[in-house]
Amino acid sequence: MSTGATSVNAWGLDGETSPPTGRLIVATEIRFSEIISALSVALDITQGQLKGHCMRNALIGMRLAQSLDLPTADRSALFYALLLKDLGCSSNAAKMAYLFRADDHEVKRSVRLINWTKPGECIKHCWSHCASGGSVFEKLLQMAVMMRKGAKAARQISEIRCDRGAEIARMLHLPEATATAIHDIDEHWNGGGNPLGLQGEEISLLGRICCLSQTVEVFFSAYGRQAALDVAVERRGQWFDPKLVDALTGLRDDASFWKSLETDDLVSELSRWEPEDAVLLADEACLDRVAEAFAKVVDAKSPWTYQHSTRVAEIAVGVAQQFGCNPELERDVRRAALLHDIGKLGVSNMILDKDGKPTEEEFAEIRKHPDYSLQILQQVEAFKVLADVASAHHERLDGRGYHRRLDGTQLPWVARVLAVSDICEAMSAKRPYRDAMPWWKIQEIMSHDGGAGVDSDCLHALERWQDHHQLESRVEAQLAEVDRLIAEL
């Protein structure tokens, strides 16, 4: 078991203006499953699902695996596929928001509750959710756009999600069976699924379990046990493998199993289902891969935030090096920078991709993302300190930042480094409502805020780093992502 991390206050970091001697991740041993279970909440947010969706999905799938008496290797691969099935979901968020002209979270949540292979249900859903808040004429225009795209758009959306999810699973060094299951999750037993239209046993067994489990979870959370069982039986032989549905209905009277899906401590409940003889421990290299993987999930949310997290990490490490901090802390700074914006997965693409400056109400939604980051990251016991500093990247020395209104007496050094790095990177990038700024302009703006909003020592460290490492523009990469999105549409 991992040892508990101390809080920021106990760590003695409040108001520190120089590198601390401690680490941001304080643990001697961390189960990989503990980290993935907690971070799966970020995937729930991206899909518009209730908190714990992926963990409940994993409980359902692992119970089915037990009924099927799957071998240990298969159960281990399935365990991570169930938790990480939505790794690629942020990659199609911008496309969903564009096609529907609506909140991508709401569209993704609601589409799981219909049978989208039935034209009548699909048309009704599209009409209910397209051009949110628009007139009848605007809804008709948007419906025309979606009907013109038709099945091709659905396949592309699924393909983006499945390909990206499998790619990130491989990046995490998970078994190939895990990546395959994630890729197969939207395939249907009758060949009517996406993205490849695989049929029957052409679909991997683990992928078939994931497909059934996620639908059962969505209906269970929305309507209860009977509705979950009913939808499984209704789609038996169409969406779902008949043998898997039979195994599920065999659990109808297993009261303790259905009760476990309602627990408030899903992480602990789920830990009982991880195959004990295949437990993975997260070493330093594994922690790096996790941070890099979830940074990719975050940066895929919008073409305008493409590569933002990785660039902030590059800058933050460069700033930290100017202070001569130890290599272990430098490594933690990089991880915090990679994960600082994980809460942005909870912001609608209708706001992130808006062609124009956000309104005050929309800015209020954007300002919630550090709080989301805190809620997600602090669920990992060993990440408590990292969660505190990473989520403080929009705080200011004068106390006028967000989301906790911390001031200079409360802001630790790492948070100050992240704030300077985040501001610099954001201004160097293009936004739908403004052009990217050159370094001299960034320096001028930040200098006016030195000592009041941002830490002067960190700003000077940034300037020293910039003198030797030219801050390369990511505008071309952003525009290439925009072009790719338009081409796919």
Question: Is the pTM here over 0.85, yes or no?
Answer: yes
Other CB atoms closer than 10 Å to residue 1's CB: what's the count? 11
C-alpha to C-alpha distance for 219 and 232, rounded to whole angstroms: 10
- 461 pLDDT higher than 50: yes
Q: What is the mean pLDDT of the segment spanning 120-143?
A: 88
Say what percent of the chain tops pLDDT 70: 96
Nearest to 425 by CA among 474, 482, 366, 370: 474
Q: What is the mean pLDDT of the segment spanning 272-292?
A: 90
Q: What pLDDT is recorded for position 481?
A: 80
Nearest 5 degrees, angle CA 238-CA 242-CA 248?
Answer: 115
- 23 pLDDT higher than 60: yes
Do the first three CATH levels of 8-26+283-488 and 33-91+159-278 match, i.e. the same topology?
Answer: yes
Tokens encoding 424? 């610099």
Catalytic residues: 344
Round the average pLDDT of the chain to a whole number and report it. 91
Q: How confident is the model at residue 473 (pLDDT cuts 50, 70, 90)?
A: confident
- 161 pLDDT higher than 50: yes
For residues 454 and 16, which has the higher predicted lDDT (pLDDT)? 454
Q: How confident is the model at residue 150 (pLDDT cuts 50, 70, 90)?
A: low
> In CATH terms, is domain 8-26+283-488 a member of 1.10.3210.10?
yes
- 11 pLDDT higher than 50: no
Q: Which CATH class is domain 33-91+159-278?
A: mainly alpha
Residue partners of 34: CB distance under 8 A and separation at least 6: 2, 267, 271, 380, 381
For residues 98 and 202, which has the higher predicted lDDT (pLDDT)? 202
C-alpha to C-alpha distance for 214 and 233, rounded to whole angstroms: 15
Q: What is the mean pLDDT of the segment spanning 322-344?
A: 96
Q: How confident is the model at residue 477 (pLDDT cuts 50, 70, 90)?
A: confident
Nearest to 33 by CA among 10, 62, 12, 9: 62
Residue spans of the domains in the chain: they are 8-26+283-488, 33-91+159-278
Dump pLDDT digits (tens) for 382-440: 999 999 999 999 999 999 999 999 999 999 999 999 999 999 999 999 988 889 999 99
Q: What pLDDT is recorded for position 308?
A: 95
- 322 pLDDT higher than 70: yes
Which of 35-44, 148-157, 166-175, 382-391 is predicted least confidently? 148-157
Residue partners of 412: CB distance under 8 A and separation at least 6: 8, 11, 13, 14, 15, 16, 20, 388, 389, 392
- What Å distances lie between residue 282 and 5, 82, 157, 174, 286, CA to CA? 15, 19, 32, 12, 5
Instruction: Provide φ and ψ at 42, rounded to 5°.
Output: -65, -35
C-alpha to C-alpha distance for 396 and 2, rounded to whole angstroms: 33
Buried b (16+ CB within 10 A) or exposed e, 39-62: bbbbbbbbbbbeebbbbbbbbbbb
